Chains A and B, each alone.
Chain A
Amino acid sequence: MARTEAPTHPWAWWVWALFAAGAVSVTTNPLLLVLVVAAVVAVVVARRSDAPWARSVSTYFMLALVIVAFRVVMQVVFGGQRTGFVLFSLPELPLPAWAAGIRLGGPVTLNSLLAALYDGLRLAAIIICVGAANALANPRRALRNVPAALHELSVAVVIALSVAPQLVESAHRVRRARRLRGGRVKGWRAVPALVVPILEDAVERSLTLATSMEARGYGRTRDLTRVPRWVSASLLLAVMAVTFGVFLLLGVPGGARPGVVCLLVGVVVTAVGLRASGRRLSVTRYRPDRWRWRETATVALALAGLLAVAGVMVLDAGVLNPPTRPLTWPSLHPLFLVAAVLFAAPIAATVPDAPSPSSERPR
């Protein structure tokens, strides 16, 4: 079979999705939210494969819808904002004094409904962005590209990912087998009959897997000396510096400059430390994903999209958060369209994944 071009690097899709999520996180303008989500969905539809993880996008959509609905229902039932244009009224339950601030029922206003809707939409848009990354990037491939020092960790996660469907399968099998014994035992007493065979199965499989990994050389190291202590210590400090830097940057007014310095130092030391501790492993990688111009272009376009939204923030911050009190029609800034086009542009920069052969039936 002639091979089409190698699939896009999974991390490129993750960076793209995170930039899109970043862009939607600063706004409650439904027009921008819908535009960005439309762009993201267009990319997913055009570029996803038919692999199992690619089908997960509908799950994320359902989750997003549930979030919006939940946010709106919560506002209707418990919302504190009860003034403005009244749509209808719910009977109000008087609550005791200690529950001050919570209102159950009461008038439901258009203003409060819209505010809740916009807020829910923002969260839903972020969820959809993450779901898009999940659908486009094979999670296992993404894990394969972690630094060598995190090799053991990524192997553990990959195995956990493969064990889950096996557990489901064995649970299904055992449940079906219950009927063969009449299934007389009901309720709590039936639990051991289900759990014991599944657990025994899982333990047996884990042992088989561990034996196979041992026999195939997992854990061979170049030299058996452990990682030097200073490497571990500096890694720990670096991670703390990153956390502190992020806190300064986001949480403390005027902490931007020391925050950025802290963050940069932390990231650099982490990179050096991971490299140093990764050297003890002699593991090589088969056909590593390559970072080509397509990946750079995808990331650059997404960054441009994020900058376009940031531009709106500088030029006309009010547009990003349309007021619901008094009610105004959310306005469309021309840069919104630019941002949406930029987020959708990776369609042009990338190629579809080689069709997965999973649809063929095994012999």
Chain B
Amino acid sequence: MISFDEVSIRYTESASPVIADASFTIPDGDLCLVVGGTGSGKTTLLRAINGLVPHFVGGIMTGRVIVNGRSTRAERPRELADLIGFVGQNPLAGFVTDTVEDEVAYGMEQLGIAATAMRKRVEETLDLMNIAELRRRPLMQLSGGQQQRVAIASVLAAQPRVIVLDEPTSALDPTAAQDVLSALTTLVHDVGMTAVVAEHRLERVMQAADQVLWLPGDGSATLGPAAQVLGRASVVPPLAELAHALGWSEVPLSVRDARRRVARERITLRPLAAGPDPLRPSSGERSDRVERPAVCLRSLTVKHGQLRAVDELSLTLEGGSITALMGRNGAGKSSLMWAIQGALPSTGTLSVAGRDPRTLSAEAARSLVGLVPQEAADLLHLHTVGLECAQSDRESGVNAGTTWALLQRLGADFDADHHPRDLSEGQRLALVLAIQLSAGPSVMLLDEPTRGLDYTMKHNLALILRDLVDRGTCVVVSTHDVEFAARISQRTIVMAEGEVVADGPTREVCTSSPAFAPQVTKVFLPDPVLTTDEVVARRV
């Protein structure tokens, strides 16, 4: 269906190729997963399928890409629109109209499909994607998962043979991601489409994949059956990590496969010791530190118009610990973080280390509570990383070079004259974190830091956060990534509709419900094991 014939792509004459001599063929009706670290060329490869590279984005391409007998060399992306549907990373930014129904019809209008046929296909597509009840809703008001499904529906309506998705679930909560993925499986299994999907978090998609295309980052591309390629690939989803740890050559693609194999090989774990949990990071040093609440909230309420984003919330957070904040999109996690920082008006009592950040100046609040917002780039406005660091030193009133030193400690290996926009997600996150740390806050809040990070970067972030905790900082991380939360946090808070619905040690919260359980936990249920490291340590 899709064949790459010695394709090489580079963006400038001098640069090293992003894709080098890639040759592979994705058969008709397959779901092909594109995996690789950040910056390994996943997006470039996806864009080459419908000719956005090089026709629209630019770049120099050699070799040929043939989709269903049509070459991207001869036809522009817009002429291939009837054959290939393309869904980008941020669905909201790609919407052309303002309501669901119009958006679904837009592609067909461009293809010049007759009004009666269009009417029928809109109905069919709305049903297929299960969004019929949203048809007249403004696109701005939809939740992330709904927006993603509308984006898929809007390319589906043109009845392409191939659908290409670039990280369809990276911004979604687990349930919404599941919705999108089940819609995708329907397309491949019931409609018979060929799907090419790029993903960072493989744990949810890999069981549905027929093939995996691995981009190691050197420009090459390896296509093969999922179980084999993932056994070799440098990207390690939790089950692959488990497979490596247990010495399995093939990666189990689903929790069910893994459970069966564990049962077959009679792998058992020692029971968890009573008393303080020795395996949770940094919990051992608790006893010699003064137990003092770093953050204390009493009936904190944040209102957005009529909506109570945070509803009479009472909470105490302690220093020297990592708390994971979970809950679906719109549950009030971000509002809570902004309110604790004092940047968002709220009612109720708020005390951080005995002071109320709402009453302090911006500078004083900043040295009390640091916040890395979801859109970290909002904080950056200078031309180079070096200038941002210097500016940060002045803002925090610290010696010149402090921020740069912090950045080095965070493991950033990039030049000071890089433009902040040219950094990868992980590097930009490190820069903003360094800027916020330069003020020396005792509380550090991170809003969705794992979005767009690959497994290696998440691992690095976990190390950085542990380092902070060892220095006594109170860290709160909001995330949709249960695997990450299970790995780093001692305590997990689940929010819904502005209220706390679950609050307790991560082991209890994450093992008690399937929605928040990491894959390793599901494999060893009912044993409350959280990570592969624990499995290795407790294996009999």
Residues 426-479 of B at the A interface (beta carbon under 8 Å):
435-436, 439
Q: Are B109 and A220 in contact (CB under 8 A)?
A: no
**Is the Cβ of B136 less than 8 Å from the Cβ of A283?**
no
Q: Interface code B366-377, partner A: CB below 8 Å = 1, 0 otherwise?
A: 100011010101
Q: Known A184-B395, A193-B381; judge A218-B110 contact (CB<8 A).
A: yes
Q: Give the complex CA separation of A71 and B76 in angstroms.
A: 58
Which chain A residues lie closer than 8 Å to B538 at the CB level?
none
Chain A residue contacts of B95, Cβ below 8 A? 162, 209, 212
User: What mask results when residues 184 to 214 of chain A are scored 1 for a CB within 8 Å of chain B, else 0?
Assistant: 1000000011101100110011001111111
| Residue among A283, A354, A357 with the highest chain B CB neighbour number at 10 A | A357
Residue of A nearest to B338 (CB): A176
CB pair A197–B88 under 8 Å, yes or no, is no
Interface assignment of A362: CB less than 8 Å from any CB of chain B: yes
Interface-located stretch among A76-84, A108-116, A284-292: A284-292
Contacts of B109 in A (CB 8 A): 283-286
Is the beta-carbon distance between B371 and A180 smaller than 8 angstroms?
yes
Q: What is the CA–CA distance of A12 and B142 in the complex, to the nearest angstrom? A: 31
Q: Which of B96, B366, B436 has the most CB of A within 10 A?
A: B96
Contacts A177-B379, A181-B392, A208-B90 given; indicate if A356 touches B439 (C-beta within 8 A): no
A205 nearest CB neighbor, chain B only: B93
A127 and B469 CA atoms in complex are apart in Å by 62
Bound-complex Cα distance A58 to B363 (A): 40
Q: Does A182 contact B (CB under 8 A)?
A: yes
Most chain A CB within a 10 A radius of its CB, from B146, B366, B439: B366
Q: For the complex, is A219 an interface residue (Cβ under 8 Å from B)?
A: yes
Quick one: which of A208-266 are within 8 Å of B by CB?
208-220, 222
Partner of B363, one of A182, A196, A356: A182
Chain A residues near B85: list those with CB within 8 A.
215
Q: Are A362 and B119 touching (Cβ within 8 A)?
A: no
| Residue on A nearest B119 in the bound complex, by CB | A287
Residue of A at shortest CB range from B110?
A217
B102 proximal to A (CB < 8 A): yes
- Asked if B421 and A1 sit within 8 Å, CB to CB, the answer is no
- Whether A288 touches B155, Cβ cut-off 8 Å, given contacts A180-B341, A216-B110, A358-B138, is no
Would A217 and B86 count as touching, CB distance under 8 A? no
A182 contacts which chain B residues (CB < 8 A)? 362-363, 366, 395-396, 439
Is A165 in contact with chain B by the CB < 8 A criterion? yes
The reply on B12 being an interface residue by CB < 8 A is no
Q: Are B371 and A288 in contact (CB under 8 A)?
A: no
Determine the distance from Cα of A174 to Cα of B378 in the docked complex, in whole angstroms.
5
Q: How far in angstroms is the closest Cβ of chain A from B363?
A: 4
B77-129, CB < 8 A from A: 77-79, 81-82, 84-86, 88, 90, 93-98, 101-102, 105-115, 118-119, 122
Main secondary structure of the interface of B (DSSP, over half): helix
A176 touching B343, Cβ below 8 Å: yes
Residue of A nearest to B139 (CB): A162
A residues within 8 A CB of B90? 208
Interface residues on A, range: 35 or more
Scan A263-307; emit 1 where CB is below 8 A from any B CB, else 0: 000000000000000000011111110000000000000000000
Complex Cα distance, B365 from A188, in Å, reads 24
The verdict on A177 contacting B143 (CB below 8 Å), with A215-B77, A284-B108 known, is no
Q: Indicate if A325 sits at the interface (CB-CB under 8 A).
A: no
Min distance, Cβ B425 to any Cβ of chain A, angstroms: 14
Bound-state CA distance A179–B364 (Å) is: 10
- Rounded to whole angstroms, the CA-CA distance of A192 and B57 in the bound complex is 28
Decide if B263 is an interface residue (CB 8 Å cutoff).
no
Closest Cβ neighbor of A216 among chain B residues: B107
Nearest neighbor of B328 in chain A, beta-carbon distance: A363
Assess whether A212 is in contact with B133, with CB atoms less than 8 Å apart. Answer: no
B137/A358 in contact, CB under 8 A: yes
Beta-carbon contact of B114 and A284 below 8 Å: yes
Number of A-B contacts (CB under 8 A): 177
Q: Please tell me if B380 contacts chain A, counting CB pairs below 8 Å.
A: yes
B363 CB contacts on chain A under 8 angstroms: 182-184
Question: How near does chain A come to B347, taking the closest CB pair, in angstroms?
Answer: 18
Q: When chains A and B are docked, how far (Å) is the Cα of A179 from the Cα of B330?
A: 23
The answer to whether B81 and A217 have CB atoms under 8 Å apart is yes
Q: How many angstroms from the CA of A21 to the CA of B448 in the assembled complex?
A: 53
Whether, in the assembled complex, B400 has its beta carbon less than 8 Å from a beta carbon of chain A, the answer is no
Enumerate chain A residues within 8 angstroms of B258, measured Cβ to Cβ.
Answer: none
Residues of B10-45 at the interface with A, using a CB-CB cut-off of 8 Å, are none
Q: Enumerate chain B residues within 8 angstroms of A178, measured Cβ to Cβ.
A: 362
A159 within 8 A of B: yes
Check B118 against A284 for contact (C-beta < 8 Å).
yes
Report A-chain residues with C-beta under 8 Å of the C-beta of B373: 177, 180
In Å, the complex CA distance between A363 and B501 comes to 17
Query: Are A282 and B378 in contact, CB atoms less than 8 angstroms apart?
Result: no
- Residues of B within 8 Å of A174, CB to CB, are 378
How far apart are the CA atoms of A193 and B136 in the complex, in Å?
A: 38
Question: Inside 8 A of B343's CB, which chain A residues have their CB?
Answer: 176, 179-180
Are A362's CB and B96's CB within 8 A? no
CB nearest to B155 among chain A residues: A216
Q: Is A103 an interface residue (CB 8 A)?
A: no
A180 touching B141 in the complex, CB below 8 Å, given contacts A1-B133, A209-B96, A212-B88: no
Bound Cα distance from A174 to B373, whole angstroms: 10
Contact of A287 among B105, B110, B113, B370 (CB under 8 A): B105
Chain A residues numbered 140-194 whose CB sits less than 8 Å from any CB in chain B: 140, 155, 158-159, 162, 165, 173-174, 176-184, 192-194
Given A214-B56, A286-B105, the answer on whether A192 and B381 have CB atoms closer than 8 Å is yes
- Chain B residues with CB under 8 Å of A213's CB are 96
Whole-angstrom CA separation of A360 from B56 in the bound complex = 39
Chain A residues with Cβ below 8 Å from B295 are: none
A281: nearest residue on chain B (CB-CB)? B112
Interface residues in B478-528 by Cβ distance below 8 A to A read none
**Residues of B contacting A217 in the complex (Cβ-Cβ under 8 angstroms):** 78-79, 81-82, 107, 110-111, 158
A158 to B98, CA, bound (A): 9
Alpha-carbon gap, A358 to B98, bound state (A): 12
For residue B394, CB closer than 8 A to chain A, the reply is yes
**Which A residues touch B378, using CB under 8 A?**
173-174, 177, 197
Report chain A residues within 8 Å CB of B114: 284
Q: A214-B77, A217-B111, A222-B112 given. 8 additional CB < 8 A pairs?
A: A1-B133, A182-B363, A184-B394, A208-B90, A212-B86, A215-B78, A215-B81, A284-B113
A-B contact pairs, 30 of them (CB 8 A): A162-B95, A162-B98, A165-B140, A176-B338, A176-B343, A176-B344, A177-B379, A180-B373, A181-B366, A182-B395, A184-B363, A197-B381, A204-B93, A208-B94, A213-B96, A215-B50, A215-B52, A215-B86, A215-B155, A216-B155, A217-B79, A217-B107, A217-B111, A220-B78, A282-B112, A284-B118, A286-B109, A286-B118, A362-B143, A362-B330
